[in-house]
Amino acid sequence: MQRISFPMKIKRVALITPPYHSGVVESAGTWLNLGFVYLAGALRQAGFEVDYYDAMSCWHDWPEIQKRIEDFRPDCVATAAFTASVVDALALLRLAKEINPQVITVIGNVHATFCYEDLVSKNTFLDYVIRGEGEGALPALLTCLKERGSLAKVPNLVYREGKIIHVNRQAPMLTELDRAVPAWDLPDWSMYSYFPKPQSTLAIVSSSRGCTQNCSFCSQKLFWQQTWRARSPENFVAELELLHRQHGVTVAMLADETPTLDRQRWLKILDLLIERQPGVKLLMETRVDDILRDHDIMEKYRLAGIEHIYVGVEAGTQAMLDIFHKGTKVESSKAAIDLINQADIVSETSFVLGMPDETPESIKNTVDLALHYNPDMAFFLAIAPWPYADLYPTLEPHIATDDYRRYNLVDPVVKPIAMTLSEVSEALGGAAQRFFMHKFHKLKTLSPWKQEFMTKVFSILVNNSYLAGQMMAMAQSGKGSMPPEILEIVRQGKTDVGKNFAPIP
């Protein structure tokens, strides 16, 4: 890496999301970057001026991104990348260097944490990689540069001098999460919305950090080093109250992998939510085993404002669950989904398909199982061979492309022995089509509020998601038995999710 004569004044930091889209999460809402909100708070506490720029959610392209950088004139541009977005993240940092060769460029998040050597060795425009949590490391890096200190003392930092790649020590993870000061005033709240709830304002929040599970296909246990830390119930619920009061937030998605891990803490959160009624409905993910454990308090979940629970089923056979190291049983997943449904909470799960031994018959069997489980929503995802996951060596001989932009759970990139990639893609769409055909035939068996919710979901799926073609074909083929609400959406051919919705390419 060519050494840069950094300016003595390092004041302005631009946190910019890469403009990557796959058509998955964008179909359900516009999601803020929670990591950047925490980073911005830490940077401001250290005396830096921050531009929180969510180019991804703005659907901005390169000319707009260039103008934003030129207008703000940052001393540092930092971005974050999961594997599918890393190509665009690097293009963003390259652009920043073209605008100002003196600007400091930094990348972090999951892909950078594990693939740092590849990043710093191949991209001369990239100055630094930060591994793991960045709230301590990024302010420390910029302070070190400003004071011309020793980079060797900055934790979590990776950088190159000549042909030597320096990998600094990993700092202990933050333990006092209640002391973090996220910069909630920086996001433009008008553009963050949960589309199934028109006119909603959506936040992403975190009540805990970490994952103690051992899933072989996932990055989270690796990123968090199989640790788990939690905020106090009082601190978390107070934040929801603040977001509702100051920023009009009405829906919040918990970013936690397992917010329910500590039952007593979680029970306290539920009781506080019921007592204080913060005005925020919650969407969350948790483990099958935790739902089974909480069978006796599911009514509290509902009274606390939890409207949507995702549990990761992932596989249709016990053998595949064991390969994925899920630590659950097939029959347990059915019982957990039943409990969520009985509490009149929207249930969602997903199935990871396209493993090397996948066949059309095995995909059919998985859809059969999904129908038996009977969640309100099920999504059928293509296995992504993330290069740092435990499962990668098993998948590597079958990887058909090294284009990371396609490692997005939508595009098949692992070729099964008995199927082509196009056959896998068609089977994934057909699985969704068959599942939702069944669900919408039975729409009237749901509670009134779930009927309304699922009708909005269908509007989104048929008009604005990566599944639009399959959903439209499904509805047209089932016209004789589809509910009138669904037929009307097909007839109109448009969505009612609101002005902030951006079309999926």
Res 58: pLDDT = 95
Average pLDDT over residues 145-154: 94
**Cα 386 to Cα 112: distance, rounded to the nearest angstrom:** 12
Give per-residue pLDDT as tens, 364-414.
999 999 999 999 999 999 999 988 888 889 999 999 999 999 999 899 999
Could you give the C-alpha distances from 364 to 343, 360, 417, 428, 433, in angstroms and in order? Answer: 29, 6, 17, 10, 12
Res 1: pLDDT = 43
Q: Place 498 in a pLDDT band, splitting at 50, 70 and 90.
A: very low
Domains identified in the chain and CATH numbers: 12-165 (3.40.50.2300), 193-311 (3.30.750.210)
**Cα 321 to Cα 325: distance, rounded to the nearest angstrom:** 6
Give per-residue pLDDT as tens, 35-87.
999 999 999 999 999 999 999 999 999 999 999 999 999 999 999 999 999 99
Give per-residue pLDDT as tens, 302-324.
999 999 999 987 555 555 555 54
Is residue 280 within 8 Å of 251, Cβ to Cβ? yes
Q: Place 342 in a pLDDT band, splitting at 50, 70 and 90.
A: very high
Is residue 403 within 8 Å of 374, Cβ to Cβ? no
Per DSSP, 214 falls in state -
Res 239: pLDDT = 98
Residue 213 has pLDDT above 60, yes or no: yes
Least confident of 220-224, 242-246, 296-300: 220-224
As separate numbers, helices (DSSP H) first and strands (DSSP E) second, the chain gives 20, 15
Res 28: pLDDT = 86
Residue 265 has pLDDT above 70, yes or no: yes
Res 4: pLDDT = 46
Res 5: pLDDT = 47
Q: Write out the DSSP string of 72-91.
A: H--SEEEEE--GGGHHHHHH
Res 371: pLDDT = 93
Distance between start and end Cα atoms, the chain: 37
Q: What are phi and psi of 48, to 5 degrees?
A: -100, 150
Residue 464 has pLDDT above 70, yes or no: no
Res 499: pLDDT = 37
Rounded to 5°, the CA angle 42-95-87 comes to 80
For residues 140, 208, 21, 370, the Cα torsion angle rounded to the nearest 10 degrees is 160
Closest C-alpha among 229, 232, 233 to residue 210: 229
